[in-house]
Amino acid sequence: MTRIRWDERTRCYLERRTKQGMSKREIVRCLKRYVAREIYRQILPKTITPTASPAT
């Protein structure tokens, strides 16, 4: 709910989805999923690339 009030990207999304005929309840449900995906990407560990082993 805070994002709807303060975040410009979210407010634009809200306007766009309202024009498409979605209810506020449906829009909030979509936003929750979007926020969950955004947070999940932030907490994932960084991908470790294998290093070349020295020649023996």
| pLDDT in single tens digits along all 56 residues of the chain | 778 888 898 899 999 999 999 999 999 999 899 889 989 988 887 766 666 666 65
Q: What is the pLDDT of residue 44?
A: 83
SS3 of 1-56: the string is CHHHHHCHHHHHHHHHHHHCCCCHHHHHHHHHHHHHHHHHHHHCCCCCCCCCCCCC
pLDDT for position 51: 66
Contact 38, 7 (CB under 8 A): no
pTM over 0.75: no
